[in-house]
Amino acid sequence: MLMIKSMATIARFRSTAVVVLVTLVASMTAPAFAQDNPQRQRDPTLPEIAPREIEIRGQFQVGFPSLQRQPLRGFASPPTVPVIPPDRLPYTETYKQERSDLPEQLPSPPSVGSRLATSPPPANGYVEAGAGRYLSRFAEGHVTLPVTPMESFEIDAAYDGSAGFEPSTTSDGSTQHDDVEGSLRFVSEREAVSIDAGLRGLTSTYDQYAAVPNSSGTIGASSPDRTVQSGGLFARIRTHGRIPTSFGLSFDQTSASANTEVGTDNRDYEQQRFAINARGAIPFGTREIEADIAASTSGLGSSAFEGDVQTLNLGGSAIAYRSGPTVIRAGARLLTFQSGSSSDSPPTPEASATYFVPTGELTIAMTPRFTIFAVNQPGLEHNTLLSRMSDTPWLAPQRYVRPTLYATRADAGVRVSVGPLRITSHAGYRYAPSYRFVEPGPVVGYENGFFRSNYESARIAEAGASLALQGFDQVQAILRATIRDGQLTDSDTSIPYFSPLVVESALTYSFLDGKALAGMELGVESPRYVDRSETEQTDTIVDLDLNGSYHVTPIIDIVARLDNMGASFERYAGYERPPTTVTAGIRIHW
């Protein structure tokens, strides 16, 4: 009985001491945060242990009206010393008291470590599908399948198709198309190493509805079908130590065919491409040199390792000067490519170039909201068969591909934040000794409707600004405008299909407590010349799309799109854009 009473007394004292200790810590730290002038003379009197109000440099205030100063002689009455009879013997039997009977209910200790006990998160993803005007249809899905808390498989798939409409430029052609793409990825996010690897593929079929056959001689098929197929694998490994590094590789095979029915030269071409890239830092004295390399080899109608097209992009840079708000990074880059000849009609010769150019970056953070920058980052753009077909679907099949090489790619400007607005303005200059552009080109059996890739040296001067809204959860918006002048230096003409004015805008708005979402995308391009003769221009392009969704249940959304609003136009000569299309569907997510 005496032991139980003693334990209760000790528990009461310990509870009182804990409360007083917490009060004492709060009273000692709170005034320290509330002081405005640490140099003022200290008050010789005792500080208030429990002030009614504590300033925390914000709008939130805490008050403790019930706490009172404890007596200076102690925080509580001294404990009573029990009187033990001289004939009292100690308790020698086994003593055990259930945890539920103890005065403090402590949590049960875990049986295993939390990292070992953590199970993989549940699978998550979404599926959406819908249809609309001109028998337009779409389907899209994503699934994440966790294997461990840090590893998972990700599956993505998308389909977009349409029966199309019959444009006024042709009598029997249509804008029908079917596009399918997907990927399977393995993702690992460990503390030291991350891995992202998988497979990808796509297939696209559409009509070249503006391809007009010859009226005599060799006559091609009307509105020939075009099919583009691509598949490949990729992998990337990143380390997260003191010096982060990354290494990646990819292998892709792409084929493009056009059912022109006039011979194999214009029907089917293939490209295999193997590429590697790496990035890291190399210690050099008291500095670190950031280095990167990207190399590729392609085979056109043959193995990738036969090297019909080879590229190398190697560079490094280091901080050369740092003082206050000013940081200067300087470096150099080696750019080189080699491209073989082809038997295209017209034939294309061999080409090669090597440039060793300086790189640099200047940043002056005048204030947290005002920054001046200047940068020069030369580089290579890989014009693969797949990227060319994605950019210009109406290209004539060509074996000849060459990268775009920018020996100079310089920009300078300012970044300013004014309240909720983030403003960026810049002026830039590019010089490309090898620049890819497109213009109408001859194809056996056709009067027009095909385009060909050509290469010349080019210079581009531009100036622009962007305006973005920041700091709002419900609204996101951006507006970007660029004025530019592009000239082919060999021909001394404007770059075909290169608009002098480009305006882009996007807006999303969430309302009804986040259940509804509305979005807008706008693109405007000024008229541009269709070829180097500078005799014909396209119309002004105004492309407006609207989209929205509504959260019906925790797992079901209704989605809708309104595409191709505004007047009709031809982005490429002869290819009229489809009229306004309305589609709607449903999204299920979990």
pLDDT in tens, the chain (590 residues): 333 334 444 344 444 444 433 443 344 334 433 344 444 444 444 445 444 444 444 444 444 444 444 444 444 445 555 556 666 655 555 555 555 555 555 454 444 443 444 567 788 999 999 999 888 999 999 999 999 999 999 999 999 999 888 776 555 667 888 999 999 999 999 989 999 999 999 999 888 888 878 877 667 777 788 888 999 999 999 998 888 899 999 999 988 887 776 654 445 678 899 999 999 988 877 788 999 999 999 887 777 777 788 999 999 999 999 998 999 999 999 999 998 766 555 566 788 899 999 999 999 999 989 999 999 999 999 888 888 888 777 777 666 678 999 999 999 999 999 989 999 999 999 999 999 999 888 777 788 888 888 899 999 999 999 999 988 889 999 999 999 999 999 989 999 999 999 999 999 999 998 899 999 999 999 999 999 999 999 889 999 999 999 999 999 999 999 998 878 888 888 888 888 899 999 999 99
**Residue 378 and residue 335 in contact, taking contact as beta carbons nearer than 8 Å:** yes
pLDDT at res. 83 = 59
Q: How far is CA 34 from the centre of its chain?
A: 43
Instruction: DSSP for 290-358, please give it.
Output: EEEEEEEEEEESS-GGG-SEEEEEEEEEEEEEEETTEEEEEEEEEEEEEE--B--SS-B--EEEEEEEE
Q: Sign of the C-alpha dihedral, residues 182, 557, 565, 222?
A: positive
| Phi, psi at 197, each rounded to 5° | -145, 150
Q: HSE-up of 42 (CA within 13 Å, CB side)?
A: 6
Rounded CA separation 590/588 (Å): 7
pLDDT at res. 24 = 39
pLDDT at res. 96 = 56
Strand partners, 250: 234, 275
Rounded CA separation 49/33 (Å): 14
Closest CA to 294 of 336, 234, 239: 336
**Residue 212 and residue 170 in contact, taking contact as beta carbons nearer than 8 Å:** yes
pLDDT at res. 213 = 81
> Any idea what DSSP says for residue 571?
E
Beta strands in 134-258 (DSSP E): 136-146, 151-162, 177-189, 193-207, 212-213, 225-239, 245-258
Rounded CA separation 165/188 (Å): 45
pLDDT at res. 402 = 85
pLDDT at res. 185 = 96
**Residue 509 and residue 477 in contact, taking contact as beta carbons nearer than 8 Å:** no
**Residue 582 and residue 561 in contact, taking contact as beta carbons nearer than 8 Å:** yes
pLDDT at res. 137 = 93
Contacts of 106 (CB under 8 A, 6+ apart): 99
What is the CATH architecture assignment of 116-188+199-213+346-589?
A: Beta Barrel (2.40)
Rounded CA separation 99/128 (Å): 53
Per-domain residue ranges of the chain: 116-188+199-213+346-589
**Residue 401 and residue 298 in contact, taking contact as beta carbons nearer than 8 Å:** yes
Beta strands in 56-135 (DSSP E): 124-132
Closest CA to 582 of 132, 109, 96: 132
Report the 10 Å Cβ neighbour count for 74. Answer: 8
Across 86-96, b (16+ Cβ under 10 Å) vs e yields: eeeeeeeeeee
Q: Sign of the C-alpha dihedral, residues 438, 441, 443, 449?
A: positive
